[in-house]
Structure 1
Amino acid sequence: MTARARLLAVAATVLAGALGVISSTQTWLTVILADGAEHALPVPGASAIPVLAPLSLAVLALGGALSIVGLVLRYVFGALTVIIAVVLGFLTAQVAFAPPIAAVTATVTTATGITGAEAVAALVLRIETTAWPYAALAGWVVLLAAGLFTLATGRRWRGSSRRYQKDAATAATGGSAASRPHDAIDSWDDLSRGDDPTAR
């Protein structure tokens, strides 16, 4: 059960992060310009929410690290996951349900050369929303659930195995005695224990 809980938390976190990264490259909004021809400009997620891509990458990193960290870091990573989910959920909901001019300003400025929020707002006839903000919002709900699940169950997750701990300790001390060449002293110790050193 504990291994399954860890796997579920890690998988949900990584899935939400991957969805965020993918959605950052997709069209979230379409801006229709009031220029007579009503030109349409696609606005990718990374432009609508500048922190979308970096925070999504951070979520991926948290998900990967969550599979190996100890108890204290599970709580730290769980809390960070919840915070990121809330931040991205709030920003995504704004874009999905009431797209602000700020979400399209960079795209309009790049396409037209017009700067300033008021000037851009005067040029925008309407803003249409695609399905991607809603898909991303669903991902942040999953991410929030994963963070809360981590905080609730992290104490019961199975820790590193004894073998892993032993191997880590061996690596930290530069290797075990068995990893160095078998010398004369080792042969003498073998004889003392009644072992035949020539049998090696």
Structure 2
Amino acid sequence: MTARARLLAVAATVLAGALGILSSTQTWLTVVLADGGEHALPVPGADAIPVLAPLSLAVLALGGALSIVGLVLRYVFGVLTVGIAVVLGYLTAQVAFAPPIAAVAATVTTSTGITGTGAVAALVLRIGTTPWPVATLVGWIVLLAAGLFTLATARRWRGSSRRYQKDAAAPAAPGPAASRPHDAIDSWDDLSRGDDPTAR
């Protein structure tokens, strides 16, 4: 269970981050303007939620690092994962179920040159949604579960670097340095300390 717990947490976190990055490039909304043209402007996820791509990249980084960090950082990363999942989940739910004008404002401004929330709202006839916001929201729910799972199981994970920690903590070979032959590595060490081994 302990080996699979780490794998499940890492895999769920990485997959949620990858979904967020992919989703940021896809069309989340279509906005029709009241300009008589009735043409729909596509709004990608990165425009609907400006923090979507950077936070998704952060989730990917957290997932990758989670596979190698020690106990304390597992808890830190677990808390960060939960926090990011809550923020992105809240923003994504808004876009999915009640798209605010702010979600399409950047696209409308780019297309028309009109700025200001009131002016943009007056120009927008209707806003349609695609399946991407809901699909991404499911990803954030998975991410939230992964963060909570990490916090609940982190203490039971097997340390990935335990072997190296033991090696580093192992005592030095017994006996003074003078009891073994002076080799080339020792000579380099002497030089780095400013001693000239040829002067002996």
Aligned residue number for residue 103 of structure 2:
103
Question: Residue type matched to 1:36 in 2?
Answer: G
**Matched residue, 1:75:** 75
**1:133, 1:141 → 2: CA distance?**
12
Matched residue type, 1:134:
V
CA distance, structure 2, for counterparts of residue 162 and residue 64 of structure 1: 18
Structure 1 length as normaliser, TM-score?
0.83
Taking structure 1 as reference, are residues 162 and 16 closer, same or farther at Cα in structure 2, changes over 3 Å only?
Answer: closer
What is the DSSP-based 3-state SS (H/G/I as helix, E as strand, rest coil) of the residue aligned with 1:38? coil
What SS does the aligned partner of 1:6 have? helix
User: SS in structure 2 opposite 1:185?
Assistant: coil
The residue identity in structure 2 corresponding to 1:40 is A
**AA in 1 matched with 2:139:** G
- Report the residue type matching 1:147 in the other structure: G
Structure 1 residue 162: Cα displacement: 4.3
Give the C-alpha shift of residue 161 in structure 1: 4.7
Residue of structure 2 equivalent to 1:160: 160
Moved over 4 A (4+): none
Matched, 1:61 2:58: no
Find the residue that maps to 2:181 and give its secondary structure.
helix
SS at match of 2:37: coil
1:185 Cα deviation from its structure 2 partner: 1.3
Aligned equivalent of 2:92: 92
Helix, strand or coil: the match of 2:128? Answer: strand
The aligned counterpart of 1:8 is 8
8 Å Cα contact 2:68/2:161 also seen in 1? no
Deviations 1:89-126 (A, max 9, x none): 00000000000000000000000011111111111000
Once the 2 structures are TM-superposed, how far is the Cα of residue 186 of structure 1 from its aligned partner? 7.0
**Which secondary structure does the structure 2 equivalent of 1:37 belong to?**
coil
Change (3 A) 1:38 1:6: same
**Cα distance, 1:163 vs. partner?**
3.1
Matched, 1:120 2:120: yes
Q: For 1:162 and 1:69, how far apart are their aligned partners in 2?
A: 11
Secondary structure at 1:69 match in 2:
coil
CA distance in 2, matches of 1:83, 1:162: 29
- TM-superposed CA distance for 1:39, in Å, is 1.4
TM-score scaled by structure 2?
0.83
Deviation at 1:164, TM superposition (A): 2.7
